[in-house]
C-alpha cells in the first residue's frame, strides 16, 4: 500500500495495484472456495474485472485512491506538500523511525534529523543545483501512532520558465544558470526542459544570472537577471504554497508571451509617451504593442482599456472599450506621439482609481521608471533583494492593489530592462522586451 502511495505518479504503480487486487482475490477465494464454486458467473466476472484493470487507467486511478486511503489509516501515513513539484511522503515505521521520500518525478532529496524521541527535523534540497541548496525546513512529531506536522517553514518560490525557439517549445534542452543568494553565495543551476519547453525550479530569495537552454548547438538565452522575491509571510503552523514566477523566453511576438487569463479578465494598457520615447523608433514599437495587446484582449472577450502618460494620464475612452470602437482605438493609437515629462507612479495610481477592478495592468516604457528609483549595481551583480536598492517605493505602491497583476514591457533594444524586470516580479506579472 505504501509503495502504491509513493509511486502513484509512476507507471509501476499500475502493476502494483493490479497485483494487490489479484492477491486480494486469491485470499478471498481461499476462504470461500466452496461457496464460489456454486456461483458460475463469479469466475467470468473476475476475469472481466482483471482485464478491465489491466487496460483501463481510470480503473487503476480509482482503485489506487481506495488502496492509498486504507494504507494511510493503517500506517499513520501523512503527506505535506510544501510546493507543487516537491511533495513529502512521511511514513511512520515505528515509534522512533520516520522515513521521508519525494515523489519519483520530483527533483530533490530529503535529510531527516532525529532531534529526540518522536521529534524530527526535515530538510528538502533541490537537485537542480550542483552545490546543494536547502529549500524547505519543518518539524514533525510522532504521537499516538500518527505523524503530525508541527511547524512548516517554506523557503522557496517556484520559478516556472518556458523556453521557446521561434515560438515553438524548446524541448529536451539542457538548462544552465547561476543563482546568487542575498549574502552573495553562488550556486550553479542545472536541469532539462520537458516536452513543452518548461522547467520548474524551486528557489529561495535571490537572483538568477546567465540563464539559458542549449540543444544541438542552439542557445535560447534570458538576458539580464531573474529576481526571486522572498516568500510572503505566513504563520509557521500553516502549510503554504510558494509563489510561482512564470517567465516565457524567446517569443517572436509580444502577444504570444501574454499569459492566458480568466474569462472575465479586465486589462488596462498603459503606454509611456514622455520625451525619452522620441528616439530609436520607440513610438512605433509602442503603437504596435498597444495594438497587439488590444487585439488579443478583444479576441478573447476580455474587457480592455487603454491610456498613455507623460506627467498626466490620457485615456482612449473613459470606460471599458466596446467592440464597436475598434476603428476609433486604432486611430487613437496612431495619433500618439512623444512629449513632455514622465510620472509612472501617477499613471499607475490614476489608472487604479479609474479601474479599481482591473485584473491585469500592462505598463510599457523604455525603462525610465521615474519617479520610482532605478536599480543600483554592486560589482558585477545586481542586488534585487537589497534594502538600499530601488523599488522599495514600488513595493509600497504595489501593496495598495493586491488583487491586480502588473506586467512590464520594455520598448526597444536600448531599453533599461533590469528595473522593469524587478518591478514585474514584485507585481506578480510577466516581463517582456518588445523590439
Q: Is the model more confident about 292 or about 90?
A: 292
Listed range (39-53, 267-281, 395-409) with the worst mean pLDDT: 39-53
- Rounded Cα distance between 359 and 30, Å, is 63
Phi and psi at 87, nearest 5°, equal: -120, 125
Q: Is 236 within a domain?
A: no
Confidence of residue 66 (pLDDT cuts 50, 70, 90): low
- Are 142 and 196 found together in one domain? no
- Are 269 and 404 found together in one domain? yes
Other CB atoms closer than 10 Å to residue 172's CB: what's the count?
Answer: 13
By the 8 A CB rule, do 162 and 197 touch?
Answer: yes
Exposure string (b/e) for 262-301, b if CB count within 10 Å is 16 or more? Answer: eeebbbbbbbbbbebbeeeebbebbbebbbbbbebbbeee
Share of the chain above pLDDT 90, in %: 17
Structure-block grid coordinates of residue 38: 456454486
Mean pLDDT of the chain: 75
Q: Which domain holds residue 261?
A: 254-434
The domain total for the chain is 4
Confidence of residue 67 (pLDDT cuts 50, 70, 90): low
Q: Is 173 within a domain?
A: yes
Across 391-419, average pLDDT: 83
- Are 408 and 276 found together in one domain? yes
What is the per-residue pLDDT across 182-206, written as a single tens digit (0 to 9) for each? Answer: 888 888 888 888 898 988 888 888 8
Q: Is the model more confident about 266 or about 116?
A: 266
Structure-block grid coordinates of residue 130: 550542483
Q: Is the model more confident about 260 or about 407?
A: 407
The pTM of this model reads 0.56
What is the per-residue pLDDT across 334-352, written as a single tens digit (0 to 9) for each? Answer: 999 988 888 999 999 999 9
What is the per-residue pLDDT across 38-59, written as a single tens digit (0 to 9) for each? Answer: 777 777 888 887 787 777 766 6
Choosing from 97, 119, 154, the residue where a domain stops is: 154
- Are 52 and 186 found together in one domain? no
Q: Is 323 within a domain?
A: yes
Confidence of residue 364 (pLDDT cuts 50, 70, 90): very high
Give 423-426's long-range contacts (Cβ < 8 A, gap of 24+). Answer: 423/363, 423/369, 423/372, 423/391, 423/394, 425/226, 425/227, 425/228, 425/229, 425/245, 425/384, 426/229, 426/391, 426/394, 426/395, 426/398
Confidence of residue 386 (pLDDT cuts 50, 70, 90): very low
What is the per-residue pLDDT across 219-241, written as a single tens digit (0 to 9) for each? Answer: 888 766 787 877 665 555 555 55
- Are 320 and 358 found together in one domain? yes
- Are 374 and 309 found together in one domain? yes
- Are 31 and 124 found together in one domain? no
Q: Is 219 within a domain?
A: yes
- Are 289 and 384 found together in one domain? yes
Predicted confidence at residue 353, as pLDDT, reads 94
Predicted confidence (pLDDT) at residue 128 exceeds the cutoff of 80: no
Amino acid at each position: 500500500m505504501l509503495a502504491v502511495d509513493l509511486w502513484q505518479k509512476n507507471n509501476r504503480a499500475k502493476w502494483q495495484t493490479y497485483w494487490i487486487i489479484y492477491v486480494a482475490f486469491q485470499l478471498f477465494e481461499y476462504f470461500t472456495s466452496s461457496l464460489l464454486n456454486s456461483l458460475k458467473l463469479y469466475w467470468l466476472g473476475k476475469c472481466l474485472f482483471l482485464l478491465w484493470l489491466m487496460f483501463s487507467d481510470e480503473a487503476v486511478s480509482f482503485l489506487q485512491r481506495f488502496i492509498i486511503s486504507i494504507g494511510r489509516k493503517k500506517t499513520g501515513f501523512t503527506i505535506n506538500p510544501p510546493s507543487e513539484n516537491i511533495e513529502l511522503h512521511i511514513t511512520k515505521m515505528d515509534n522512533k523511525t520516520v522515513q521521508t521520500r519525494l515523489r519519483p518525478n520530483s527533483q530533490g532529496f530529503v535529510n531527516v534529523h532525529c532531534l529526540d524521541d518522536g521529534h524530527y527535523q526535515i530538510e528538502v534540497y533541490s537537485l537542480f543545483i550542483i552545490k546543494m541548496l536547502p529549500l524547505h525546513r519543518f518539524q514533525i512529531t510522532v504521537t499516538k501512532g500518527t505523524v503530525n506536522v508541527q511547524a512548516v517553514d517554506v523557503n522557496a518560490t517556484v520559478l516556472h520558465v518556458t523556453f521557446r525557439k521561434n515560438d515553438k517549445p524548446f524541448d529536451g534542452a539542457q538548462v544552465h544558470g547561476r543563482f546568487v543568494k542575498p549574502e552573495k553565495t553562488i550556486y550553479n543551476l542545472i536541469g532539462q526542459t520537458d516536452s513543452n519547453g518548461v522547467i520548474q525550479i524551486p528557489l529561495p530569495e535571490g537572483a538568477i544570472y546567465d540563464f539559458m537552454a542549449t540543444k544541438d548547438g542552439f542557445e535560447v538565452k534570458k538576458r539580464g537577471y531573474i529576481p526571486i522575491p522572498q516568500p510572503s509571510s505566513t504563520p509557521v503552523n500553516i502549510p503554504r504554497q510558494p509563489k510561482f514566477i512564470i517567465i516565457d523566453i524567446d517569443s517572436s511576438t509580444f502577444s504570444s508571451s501574454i499569459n492566458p487569463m480568466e474569462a472575465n479578465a479586465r486589462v488596462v494598457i498603459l503606454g509611456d509617451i514622455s520625451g525619452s520615447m522620441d528616439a530609436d523608433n520607440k513610438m512605433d514599437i509602442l503603437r504596435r504593442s498597444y495594438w497587439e495587446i488590444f487585439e488579443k484582449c478583444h479576441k478573447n472577450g476580455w474587457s480592455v482599456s487603454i491610456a498613455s502618460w507623460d506627467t498626466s494620464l490620457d485615456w482612449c475612452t473613459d470606460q471599458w472599450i466596446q467592440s464597436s470602437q475598434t476603428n476609433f482605438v486604432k486611430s487613437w493609437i496612431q495619433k500618439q506621439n512623444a512629449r513632455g515629462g514622465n510620472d509612472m507612479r501617477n499613471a499607475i495610481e490614476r489608472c487604479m482609481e479609474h479601474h479599481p477592478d482591473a485584473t491585469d495592468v500592462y505598463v510599457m516604457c523604455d525603462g525610465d521608471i521615474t519617479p520610482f528609483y532605478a536599480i543600483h549595481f554592486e560589482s558585477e551583480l545586481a542586488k534585487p533583494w537589497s534594502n538600499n536598492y530601488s523599488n522599495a517605493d514600488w513595493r509600497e505602491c504595489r501593496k495598495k492593489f493586491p488583487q491586480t497583476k502588473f506586467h512590464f514591457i520594455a520598448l526597444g533594444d536600448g531599453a533599461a530592462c533590469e528595473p522593469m524586470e524587478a518591478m514585474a516580479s514584485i507585481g506578480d506579472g510577466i516581463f517582456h522586451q518588445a523590439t
